[in-house]
């Protein structure tokens, strides 16, 4: 069934979403906080450590802002769908527990030949004041849905830095990382069911793209903002290759004033998040 292009620009009904301290603690552990040394990153993994108030990893913004889509795109085979890009802007730091009201819309459906790129945007506000808290934009690539003769979409220029990174950090992932991350809300069987993963062309379940994104965000936070979520303003990146749970991730960063470009790679050099950008506020 062809994609329904009439959904572009149609805003969803407002959706209120809340989270608890336990939700943000689980998220931090699910993206590797405290792994290898449980006494590090206590501000993200505990709520009752003496002298250490709980704080929230900035990448939780993507989960906090999530809202159900409005009209259906069409009869899409979920095994042919992959997360392609993700970005967010934090207008203020997230509280350990809170609530937002979100609206979302599809802002474009682009013809990439072998598939279609569907881009959506979500705006989350404080329900009490209407103040904007999060702007999140993501895209999905649907294999086999291209070739309809549409616009290929805007080009994003990202020249490869011709120098060594200013910062480089490596974090391991656990073999059971996807089983932990799925408890944050994404129960897609691609990340847990071997039979479903095989139908999608993978030898075994893969790690959630947003888990890779969260691990990357931790590296950016500590290297660029000295671990201070209040300084972390924005992040974007393109998912370019799958990660299997248990593989290590290296984040390379090139500074450019208050912003930085970054790439995340596996041990064999495969780029898994490309064309990355992060924006950090001054101390």
Q: What is the mean pLDDT of residues 215-227?
A: 98
Please tell me which residue in 83, 111, 191, 208 is annotated as part of the active site: 191
| pLDDT over 90 (residue 14) | yes
Give the mean model confidence (pLDDT) for residues 266-274.
97
Q: How confident is the model at residue 277 (pLDDT cuts 50, 70, 90)?
A: very high
| pLDDT of 271 above 80 | yes
Query: Is pLDDT above 60 for 238?
Result: yes
* Mean pLDDT, residues 86-92: 97
Q: How far apart are CA 93 and CA 24, in angstroms?
A: 13
Angle ∠(94,167,88) on CA atoms, nearest 5: 30
Residues 6+ apart with CB under 8 A from 262: 216, 220, 237, 251, 252, 253, 254, 273, 276, 277, 278
User: Average pLDDT, stretch 32-55?
Assistant: 97
Residue 160 has pLDDT above 90, yes or no: no
- Across all residues in the chain, what is the average pLDDT? 93
Q: How far is CA 254 from CA 28, 187, 208, in A?
A: 25, 34, 25
- Region 31-50: what's the mean pLDDT? 97
Regarding predicted confidence, which is higher, 231 or 75? Answer: 231
Tell me what the mean pLDDT of segment 167-186 comes to: 97
- Give the chain's end-to-end CA distance (angstroms, integer): 51
Query: Listing from the earlier edge strand, what are the strands of the sheet with 15-19?
Result: 15-19, 98-111, 115-125, 132-143, 81-90, 232-239, 271-280, 259-265, 249-256, 167-171
DSSP letter at 148 equals S
Residue 185 near residue 22 (C-beta atoms within 8 A): no
pLDDT at residue number 156: 80
Helix (H) / strand (E) containing 236? strand 232-239
Residue range 48-68: average pLDDT? 96
pLDDT > 90? residue 18: yes
Domains and CATH numbers, the chain: 5-280 (3.10.129.10)
Q: 222 catalytic, yes or no?
A: no
pLDDT, position 73:
76
pLDDT more than 90, % of the chain? 79
To the query of whether residue 151 is one of the catalytic residues in this protein, the response is no
Catalytic residue among 4, 126, 166, 186: 186
Per-residue pLDDT band at 1 (split at 50, 70, 90): low
Q: Is the pTM of this model over 0.75?
A: yes
pLDDT surpasses 60 at 70 = no
Beta bridge partners of 261: 254, 277
DSSP string, 29-52: HHTTTTTT-TTSSHHHH-S-BTTB
| Entry field: residues in the chain | 283
pLDDT of residue 24: 98
Q: What angle do CA 206, 86, 174 make, to 5 degrees?
A: 30
Mean pLDDT of all residues in 177-186: 96
Question: Is 71 a residue whose pLDDT tops 70?
Answer: no
**For the ranges 15-19, 45-49, 112-116, 217-221, which has the lowest average pLDDT?**
112-116
Average pLDDT of the segment spanning 156-172 = 92
Q: Which two tokens stand for residue 282?
A: 């001054």
């Amino acid at each position: 069934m062809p994609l329904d292009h009439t959904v572009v620009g149609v805003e969803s009904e407002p959706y209120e979403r809340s989270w608890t301290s336990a939700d943000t603690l689980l998220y931090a552990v699910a993206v590797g906080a405290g792994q290898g040394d449980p006494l590090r990153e206590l501000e993200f993994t505990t709520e009752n450590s003496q002298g250490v108030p709980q704080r929230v990893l900035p990448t939780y913004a993507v989960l906090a802002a999530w809202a159900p889509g409005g009209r259906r795109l069409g009869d899409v085979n979920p095994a042919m769908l992959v997360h392609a890009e993700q970005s967010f802007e934090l207008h203020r730091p997230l509280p350990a527990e809170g609530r937002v009201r979100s609206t979302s819309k599809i802002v474009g459906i682009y013809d990439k030949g072998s598939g279609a790129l569907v881009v959506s945007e979500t705006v989350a506000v404080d329900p009490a004041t209407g103040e904007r808290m999060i702007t999140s934009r993501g895209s999905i690539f649907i294999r086999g849905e291209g070739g309809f003769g549409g616009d290929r979409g805007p080009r994003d220029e990202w020249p490869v830095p011709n120098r060594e990174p200013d910062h480089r950090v490596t974090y391991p992932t656990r073999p059971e990382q996807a089983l932990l991350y799925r408890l944050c809300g994404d129960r897609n069987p691609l990340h847990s069911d071997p039979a479903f993963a095989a139908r999608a062309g993978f030898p075994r379940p893969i790690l959630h793209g947003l888990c890779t994104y969260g691990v990357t965000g931790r590296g950016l936070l500590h290297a660029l903002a000295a671990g201070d979520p209040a300084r972390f303003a924005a992040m974007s990146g393109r998912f370019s290759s799958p990660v299997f749970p248990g593989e290590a991730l290296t984040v390379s960063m090139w500074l450019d004033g208050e912003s930085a470009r970054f790439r995340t790679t596996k041990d064999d050099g495969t780029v898994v998040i490309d064309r990355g950008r992060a924006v950090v506020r001054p101390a």
